[in-house]
């Protein structure tokens, strides 16, 4: 499955959970298409590739779809996440309510500053960096979000690859790269560079028609 299709599948899955939570039992391809920002034809094509078939008139059973997509997405495993770097962005993500519908749980934060990790107002436990390995193992955490300052990113990354962490979502402007370990690229790294996204938007708007 390529990453575009994976993106759509996770969007369908998310939309289905929401539809179920408001009491719906059936859904049509065009509903999922709207939620995922694609056409209904693409939804039908994705489902046909995954051998998922609806009824001609009634659409798809939401419960059944959720089960099938959960299986495809490997759900049921621990989806515990930690946050390294509890500055403003890290703290905002600790409080972020958008993870819950997807079953993702932010279980702990890490920071090198005692003023941060000893602060009683943190909504989840925040530990000093020295306890990283221990907590990752104890809580069976596989994925970390990095929100440290730019100059701490490389160091933070070196420490994470020494733990059981297998996936990283990196919000620092430093591009972090996986390493080839016995033929597989580890850890899985997704880099989100906010300034870069803005730069690209500024670049693209230059080419919009200027007819108005």
What Å distances lie between residue 140 and 78, 134, 168, 186, 200, CA to CA?
Answer: 7, 10, 15, 18, 37
| Residue 2 engages its own copies in binding (rule: CB under 8 A) | no
Selected from 95, 134, 138, 162, the binder of its own copies by CB under 8 A is 95
CA–CA separation, 111 and 156 (whole Å)? 10
Out of 20, 52, 102, 135, point to the residue binding its own copies (CB under 8 A): 102
Can you tell me the distance from the alpha carbon of 98 to that of 92, in angstroms, rounded to the nearest whole number? 11
Nearest to 52 by CA among 68, 73, 72, 35: 68
Token pair for residue 169?
A: 């979502």
CB–CB of 131/158 below 8 Å?
A: no
Shortest distance (Å) from residue 177 CB to its own copies: 5
Q: How many residues bind its own copies (CB under 8 A)?
A: 67
Q: Which of 6, 24, 41, 49 binds its own copies (CB under 8 A)?
A: 6
Stretch of 45-53, 113-121, 132-140, 185-193 contacting its own copies, by CB under 8 A: 185-193
Q: Which is nearer to its own copies, 63 or 96 (CB)?
A: 96
Using rule CB under 8 A, residue 41 touches its own copies: no
Cβ proximity of 29 and 55 under 8 Å: no
Stretch that binds its own copies, among 24-32, 41-49, 56-64, 204-212 (CB under 8 A): 204-212
Question: Would you give the binding string for its own copies spanning residues 51-90, x where CB under 8 A is met?
Answer: ----------------------xx--x-x-x-----xxx-
C-alpha–C-alpha distance, residues 43 and 34, integer Å: 10
């Amino acid at each position: 499955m390529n990453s575009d299709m994976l993106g759509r599948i996770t969007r369908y899955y998310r939309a289905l959970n929401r539809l179920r939570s408001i009491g719906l039992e059936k859904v049509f391809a065009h509903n999922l298409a709207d939620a995922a920002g694609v056409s209904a034809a693409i939804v039908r094509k994705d489902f046909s590739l995954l051998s998922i078939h609806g009824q001609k008139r009634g659409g798809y059973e939401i419960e059944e779809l959720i089960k099938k997509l959960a299986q495809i997405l490997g759900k049921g495993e621990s989806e515990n996440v930690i946050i390294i770097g509890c500055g403003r962005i890290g703290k905002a993500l600790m409080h972020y309510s958008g993870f819950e519908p997807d079953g993702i749980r932010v279980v702990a934060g890490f920071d090198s500053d005692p003023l941060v990790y000893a602060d009683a107002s943190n909504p989840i436990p925040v530990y000093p960096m020295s306890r990283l390995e221990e907590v990752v193992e104890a809580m069976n955490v596989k994925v970390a979000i990095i929100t440290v300052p730019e100059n701490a990113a490389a160091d933070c990354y070196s420490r994470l690859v020494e733990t059981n962490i297998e996936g990283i979502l990196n919000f620092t402007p430093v591009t972090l790269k996986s390493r080839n370990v016995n033929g597989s690229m580890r850890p899985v790294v997704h880099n989100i560079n906010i300034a870069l996204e803005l730069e690209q938007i500024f670049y693209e708007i230059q080419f919009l028609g200027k007819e108005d």
